[in-house]
Each structure stands twice: as structure tokens, then as C-alpha cells.
């Protein structure tokens, strides 16, 4: 089992939460878009081994980020990896959870968790 990293979680959140709403965000970053973003994040979070309070902190950091970060994958991943609050949450989670296995098969990455698998 490998520990979760900010890079890995950042990629998963980009792929499963942000990418589906990027077009909407580019058009207009209003309350409806924030609701859609939160809904997408909650779906992505279902597969991640964090406590509710930790997920709320990560969600807040993402939702409050500048629009230019949320519409560019490279900027988002850089933001996610360098965000101290998010890093602290992941470090804390790693100290409690040793139940994640990361593997790549035929060019597809998999994160196996207690709650189900995520492929990327």
C-alpha cells in the first residue's frame, strides 16, 4: 500500500470533479456553478478515505480558489499540491489510513480504497 499524495488526489479531483464543470465555470462562475462544483466534488469524495471535516476543508479551498486556477488543469494541480491546508489534511489522513493501493495496468491508473476503486 502506498500513501496518498497531493498529486494523486489532485489528479483524481480534477478528473472526477473539476473537468466536468470547467466549461460551465469558464462561461460564468456564479452560484449555480458553485453548486454544481460542490456536487461534483462530493461524488469524487465518495471514493476518498477522508473524514467529513477534512473533505469540507478541501472543498472550501477548491471552491474559493481563483477562477483561473479552476479552469486550467496544470494551474489546479499546482495549486492543489502547494496548498498547505490541503497538504495538512492529506498528511493527517495518511497517518490514519494505510488502506490505499495504487497501481497501473495497461496505461490505466487505479486507486483501490476501502470505499471502491478509482481509475484514471
Contact indicator for 62, 70 with CB cutoff of 8 Å:
yes
pLDDT tens column, 35-86: 888 888 888 888 777 888 998 999 999 988 888 888 888 999 999 889 999 9
Contact indicator for 100, 1 with CB cutoff of 8 Å:
yes
* Non-local CB neighbours of 100 within 8 Å, separated by 6+ positions: 1, 2, 3, 4, 49, 111, 112, 113
Residue 116 has pLDDT above 60, yes or no: no
Q: For residue 118, what are the β-bridge partners?
A: 111
d(CA 5, CA 87): 8
Instruction: Classify residue 97: in a domain, yes or no.
Output: yes
Instruction: Classify residue 68: in a domain, yes or no.
Output: yes
pLDDT tens column, 89-99: 888 877 776 55
Q: With 0.85 as the threshold, say if the pTM is over it.
A: no
Residue 15 has pLDDT above 60, yes or no: yes
Instruction: Classify residue 98: in a domain, yes or no.
Output: yes
Q: Which domain holds residue 63?
A: 6-119
Name the band, by pLDDT with cuts 50, 70 and 90, for residue 1. low
Instruction: Classify residue 1: in a domain, yes or no.
Output: no
Instruction: Classify residue 53: in a domain, yes or no.
Output: yes
Helix (H) or strand (E) holding 11: helix 6-13
Instruction: Classify residue 34: in a domain, yes or no.
Output: yes
Query: How many domains does the chain contain in total?
Result: 1
Instruction: Classify residue 58: in a domain, yes or no.
Output: yes
- Residue with the bigger pLDDT between 66 and 34: it is 66
* Dmax (CA) of the chain: 41
Amino acid at each position: 500500500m502506498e500513501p496518498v499524495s497531493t498529486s494523486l488526489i489532485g489528479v483524481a479531483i480534477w478528473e472526477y470533479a473539476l473537468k466536468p464543470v470547467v466549461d460551465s465555470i469558464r462561461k460564468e462562475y456564479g452560484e449555480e456553478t458553485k453548486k454544481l462544483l460542490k456536487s461534483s466534488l462530493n461524488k469524487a469524495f465518495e471514493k476518498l478515505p477522508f473524514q467529513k471535516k477534512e473533505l469540507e476543508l478541501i472543498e472550501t479551498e477548491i471552491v474559493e480558489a481563483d477562477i483561473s486556477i479552476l479552469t486550467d488543469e496544470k494551474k489546479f494541480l499546482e495549486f492543489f499540491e502547494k496548498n498547505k491546508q490541503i497538504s495538512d489534511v492529506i498528511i493527517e489522513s495518511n497517518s490514519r489510513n494505510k488502506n490505499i493501493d495504487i497501481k497501473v495496468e495497461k496505461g490505466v491508473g487505479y486507486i483501490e480504497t476501502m470505499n471502491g476503486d478509482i481509475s484514471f
